[in-house]
Homo-oligomer: A and B are copies of this chain.
Amino acid sequence: MYTSSEENCLKAILKLSKKEEGPVSTGALAAEMQMTAPSVTDMLRRLSEKRLATYEKYYGVQLTEEGLRVATNLVRRHRLWEVFLTQQLGFQWDEVHEMAEQLEHIPHPELIERLDAFLGYPQFDPHGDPIPNAQGQWPSRPEQLLSSVASGQRVRVVGVNDHSAAFLQYLDRLGIGLGAQMEVVECIAFDLSVRVRLLEQGRELMLSEKAARGLFVEPLSSGC
């Protein structure tokens, strides 16, 4: 249907659209996709011709209905494959991105539906990111960052905001994964770092503000 390059571009536009309102700039896309600005301009012209995006020179680009549908589906495929790779093949959460990046471009829709069923219709990927369903609807996830939690609060880790292998491996070393429960013991005013106590292990550890901004959490008392 569409080429891998086009699909990657649609996905990048979707990602940047979610960061902030309004059109996405050529430069931001170029940075996101690790390409030069002229290459992006060219790609946007093509996407525009195919009615996947509306592109105005010197203004920016936005996805059309169809473009949004395609991009959402890509995210769905990417994250389902990530679940497969970790859950079934035993890969670590810092190893799966590149492979999923390739797997997501395999088109056959029936393949994805079967994979989804095989995996038990997961709602979140190994990093806690929501997986849109076949109709393109996204499950909701708490958007609170650990860095904004008040002292004394108890929370559960529900996702990461920084997907870099370096951060994920650091979390592994600290023994922090999805579902980890912790209490914020103290927040250091000086550098905004936080001292937390892991509820399962009882250990205490320090997290820099940068690390704390990398974790999505939900209050522990709440519902689930």
CB distance from A86 to the nearest CB of B (A): 11
What B residues does A90 contact at CB under 8 A? 114
A168-212 CB mask vs B (1 if < 8 Å, else 0) is 000000000000000000000000000000000000000000000
Q: Is the Cβ of A89 less than 8 Å from the Cβ of B102?
A: no
Q: Nearest CB to that of A91 among chain B residues? A: B114
Query: How many Å lie between the Cα of A186 and that of B114 in the bound state?
Result: 43
Q: Mark A85-106, 1 if CB is under 8 A from B, else 0.
A: 1001111000000110011001
Contacts of A145 in B (CB 8 A): none
Q: Which residue of B89, B110, B111 contacts A111 across the interface (Cβ within 8 Å)?
A: B89
> Top 5 A-B pairs ranked by shortest CB distance?
A89-B114, A102-B106, A99-B108, A99-B111, A89-B118
